Amino acid sequence: MRKFVNDSAILATRFLQPVPFINANMSFKCPLCMRIFSQRFAYTQHAQKCLKNIEVEVEEDDDNNDSEKYSSEMDTRSNLSSEYENDKVEVDDDNDVQNMSFDSIGSAISEMSLEDSNFENILDSSEEPEIFEEPKNLNTKTCTEFPNDAYKDLMLLVTKYKINNKGGNEIIRFFNKHSNLTESPLPKNIEQGRAFMNNMKFSNLEFSKVLITKHEDKDYFLYYQNLIQCIKNILTVPDITQNFALSYENYEYNRESIYSEQNNGKWWKTTQESLPTGSKLLSIILYSDATTTDTLGKSQLHPIYITLGNIPIWRHNKQDAKQLLGYLPILEAANKDLVRDTFHKSLRHLLEPIILLKDGIDLFINNENTWFYPRVSTIIADWPEAASFCLVYKSSNSNLPCHSCLVKRENLANIDLSVNDVILRTHDEMRKHFENDTQRSVCIESVHNFFWDLPNINIYLATVPDRMHHLDLGLFCYQIIFTCDILKSQHVNGNKLVEEVDRHLAAIPRFPGIKIFSNGLQSIARLTASEYRSLMKVMIFVIDNLYDENNNEVDNFVNNDDLTKLYEYWNEMYILSRYEEFSESDLEKFNDAIHRWAWMFVKAFKFVSPSNLKLPKLHSWVYHIIDSI
């Protein structure tokens, strides 16, 4: 997952943690006492004790400056560990809205990265570089800025590229050797730099908290940044306003409409026409993804991020074009209506400025003030979270499981539905059912949906899937699992065929960009999105000519040619899904590719699927993805 932060946030999120050395044989070596453990669980249990032991040892030597510094770091890490152990962020008892520094939730944010986890930030024992003189006025009190630009650039470099302490110290050594300065502007070592960062307070990263609900004598807080401040933070990023979209553009080529940016779409055009003359549309894109923050899956956080649709797609996909808007409280209760109400109360608090700014807001864009009206255009979320935003029944076994339309469950695998069969959900209709107490007939929850109160948004269409969860970890994962089931069920020696697939995968020669699956598909449940994408590149060759025709006259037999074509159709469809712009003819081509793959998918796997392919993700991909472009 990618990290949605700007430069200041990158620096603020890197807190010192006891990360193990990972050996080639997947053993875990404690960086504090150098003990080796064969299992991560054993290492995790040991780390808690080891931190405390080292803290005690360090406190016994008050005369050693380096020991004092190291103790400070251990305090920080111990606090971080205890926060995760208790599965919550420690806050004051005061229930009123109040400011809290980024430090208070630093451990949470350091774990909340939209990138894949890494183990590069290791506390290596390293030599201290020779310097002439330490920078003056460096102490452990709270600071709002770095001592100098060189210090800042170094720590930004180390943090952004995840350089470990040993590598960072070598950079300091190299700089001091060749700079010919009598006083080094850099920290004595990277450990000192990290400790300095831990005590920094960033004015544009101040979080507040507000009590959302109280359940069973426990307070549930929302930790958040002001929406408008987040927008202003994004706009301060250098070059971010270059090619900043201010109006609808009908982009055409060869008399065909081209859709490359959000301001080429129909939503932008209709929303812009509804605004006062002379004002501009500020498009807000939200990204939500609840995630676990520990190896055992016991600690959870639910972050929500913001970026702007006015920024070109290639630019707003970069790290610094996004801001962490807040952490939604995670309430686990038997009363599910209370859980849903808590979720939407939190969203109301985050997005209420959109309702309150009845006269819009002036923002400084390209050296002049521009009058904007902020509007939520898109919410990117996985399927369960989409159901939470839309407040439809989450279960795929409900009568109407799609959050975008009123398709019946028995038609989820039907790829021949007409336009009249796919009745889209609308605010007006869903709200009418809610007010008339007939919400069960359309499978929506008995909770008021906050998005009904927001202007210019149909939440049922604005909530779209992200490709990683929907395709890589979703439909393609199903395709791999069902392929193995087909091989096992329709062949006498089906298990041997699966083993043959594993051998084919393991025999693929090394090549840049291709992962070697030495253990085959045995660990499919633990594959990452990147690994699934590697499988996409090779599975067609693994499946081709894998088995003979139906010599045993098995019912519903899937021949090898059809299975091979399925992977061919998938690759064609997946490549089209990654286009950066679409013409009208491209959309037709993409739609045909989707239906061609879906038809073969249903033909091959309908009888092996426990649910007969009643998969909401399949239906959503076939009938709603084109409209979201």
What is the rounded distance in angstroms from the CA atom of residue 573 to the CA atom of residue 571? 5
Q: Which tokens belong to 424?
A: 């889209």
Q: Check residue 113 and give its pLDDT.
A: 37
Element (H, E) at 281: strand 280-288
Query: Are residues 58 and 16 part of one domain?
Result: yes
Average pLDDT over residues 55-65: 42
Query: Are residues 474 and 455 part of one domain?
Result: no
Q: Are 390 and 463 in contact (CB under 8 A)?
A: yes
Per the structure, the count of domains in the chain is: 3
Residue 459 belongs to domain spanning: 225-464
Q: Check residue 546 and give its pLDDT.
A: 93
Asked if residue 211 belongs to a domain, the reply is no
Name the nearest CA neighbour of 82 among 10, 14, 17. 17
Coil, helix or strand for 344? helix
CB burial of residue 347 (10 Å; 0-12, 13-18, 19+)? buried
Query: Are residues 475 and 454 part of one domain?
Result: no
Q: Which tokens belong to 54?
A: 């080292």
Asked if residue 406 belongs to a domain, the reply is yes
Asked if residue 130 belongs to a domain, the reply is yes
Domain boundary among 413, 429, 464: 464
What is the rounded distance in angstroms from the CA atom of residue 505 to the CA atom of residue 535? 9
DSSP state for residue 451 in the 8-state scheme: G
Asked if residue 2 belongs to a domain, the reply is no
Q: Check residue 132 and give its pLDDT.
A: 41
Average pLDDT over residues 268-297: 87
Query: Are residues 473 and 456 part of one domain?
Result: no
Q: Check residue 524 and give its pLDDT.
A: 72
Query: Are residues 185 and 281 part of one domain?
Result: no
Q: Which tokens belong to 615?
A: 């998969």
Q: Which tokens belong to 217?
A: 């004598």
Query: Are residues 151 and 250 part of one domain?
Result: no
Query: Are residues 262 and 154 part of one domain?
Result: no
Q: Check residue 134 and give its pLDDT.
A: 44
Query: Are residues 474 and 449 part of one domain?
Result: no
Domain boundary among 464, 487, 522: 464
Query: Are residues 472 and 459 part of one domain?
Result: no
Average pLDDT over residues 296-302: 70
Query: Are residues 404 and 374 part of one domain?
Result: yes
Query: Are residues 445 and 308 part of one domain?
Result: yes
What is the rounded distance in angstroms from the CA atom of residue 104 to the CA atom of residue 107? 8
Domain boundary among 416, 441, 464: 464
**pTM surpassing 0.85?**
no
Asked if residue 501 belongs to a domain, the reply is yes
Average pLDDT over residues 185-212: 84
Lowest mean pLDDT across 35-44, 343-352, 467-476, 512-521? 35-44
Confidence bin at 354 (pLDDT 50/70/90): very high
Asked if residue 216 belongs to a domain, the reply is no
Query: Are residues 477 and 423 part of one domain?
Result: no
Q: Check residue 33 and give its pLDDT.
A: 65
Question: Does position 88 have pLDDT exceeding 80, yes or no?
Answer: no
Asked if residue 213 belongs to a domain, the reply is no
